[in-house]
Amino acid sequence: MNSQIAEAIGLTTHPVALVWADSAPEGALAFKPGKWGCVMSLIASVAAKGRTAAFSRETYGCWGGGVGLGFGDCYDHFPGGVEGFCGFLADGNDKTERGRQIGSGIAQSGAKQMAEDFLLGERYLKSAETTKRYLDWLPILDAPTNYIVAKPLAETDPETEAIQNITFFVEPDALSALVILSNYREPEKENTKMAWAAGCQVVGILAYNEAEQESPRAVVGMTDISARKCTRALLGRYILSFTAPWEMFLRMEDDVENSFLQRDTWRSLQGKGDQ
């Protein structure tokens, strides 16, 4: 399936479809079982290179990635369990003997940066208690399939595949256009939100959750600086993500014709009209 939106906004990457699937496509990029990796780095490869990536319950790269994609509550498997993760995302685990022992074990395994982050914390949230509130709010979901596949929209078949959402990786002008288009029919509903969340959570469980709402919204992401660090070489410095639930994406596709995307203001931003 090709996208009118992608053509109209001059997208230079591929729109990425997230698909629930029972098997992995042949030749799909994948992490090795038990090996660490950033989910967004593989999804960025799909966008930038037109590849296909597949994730399973054994190959989701990291605990947060497993949660973000929709493989249930993987934080139980984080070093030190949920308590360890709450410290990791906040101000660290070096305040307890158990935390220091776990951090030492991580360092001895060779993962020195992970050990430092575990002990001192990534400090994305104020405290472990703050992180626990966040986890209680997060719409953790266990998808009904064994695989989550990320692939270029152009290579999907909506008739046979369970497409959950579509993600565009865009610079500010194109992001502005997508926000306007999402509100084209119903501007009173604020149809786009910007989330504080991991990059994979935005394209995964947060977007899945929006699809279940009476008035679904698109979700702007890549405000996760860890994901930005992992994807910069593929996507560039100024990219954000825009993820629309599938039915919302189809509505937006229908709205391209006769919209602002065919008028002079937008064309001038693309260098196609009077400046």
Bridging pattern class, strands 16-21 and 147-152: antiparallel
The sign of the dihedral angle between the CA atoms of 72, 73, 75, 76 is negative
How far CA 114 is from CA of 67, 136, 185, 197, in Å, comes to: 19, 24, 46, 19
Q: How many CB atoms lie within 10 A of CB 136?
A: 8
Task: Report helix, strand or coil for 175.
Answer: helix
Q: Is 62 exposed, middle or buried (0-12, 13-18, 19+ CB in 10 A)?
A: buried
Query: Is the pLDDT score of 274 beyond 60?
Result: no
Q: Are 51 and 184 in contact (CB under 8 A)?
A: no
Residue 195 — very low, low, confident or very high, per pLDDT cuts 50/70/90? confident
List all residues 6 or more positions away from 19 whose beta carbon is below 8 Å from its beta carbon: 148, 149, 150, 151, 156, 161, 162, 163, 164
What's the confidence (pLDDT) of residue 148? Answer: 98
What's the confidence (pLDDT) of residue 34? Answer: 84
What's the confidence (pLDDT) of residue 273? Answer: 58
Please name which of 93, 100, 89, 101 lies closest in space to residue 64, comparing C-alpha atoms.
89
pLDDT, tens digit, 9 for 90 and up, residues 149-184: 999 999 999 999 999 999 999 999 999 999 999 999
Query: Is the pLDDT score of 244 beyond 60?
Result: yes
pTM: 0.94
Say which residue the tokens 């990536």 belong to. 53
Query: Is the pLDDT score of 275 beyond 50?
Result: no
State the virtual CA torsion across 179, 176, 252, 169 in degrees, nearest 10: -100
What's the confidence (pLDDT) of residue 1? Answer: 87
pLDDT, tens digit, 9 for 90 and up, residues 112-157: 999 999 999 999 999 999 999 999 999 999 999 999 999 999 999 9
State the chain's mean pLDDT as an integer. 96
Q: Are 200 and 69 in contact (CB under 8 A)?
A: yes
Query: Is the pLDDT score of 86 beyond 90?
Result: yes
C-alpha of 223 from chain center: 10
Span 62-76, average pLDDT: 96
Local structure of residue 78 (DSSP, 8 states): S
- Give, for 117, the enclosing helix (H) or strand (E): helix 112-120
CA pair distance 104, 107, nearest whole angstrom: 5
How far CA 34 is from CA of 28, 63, 116, 149, in Å, comes to: 17, 10, 21, 18
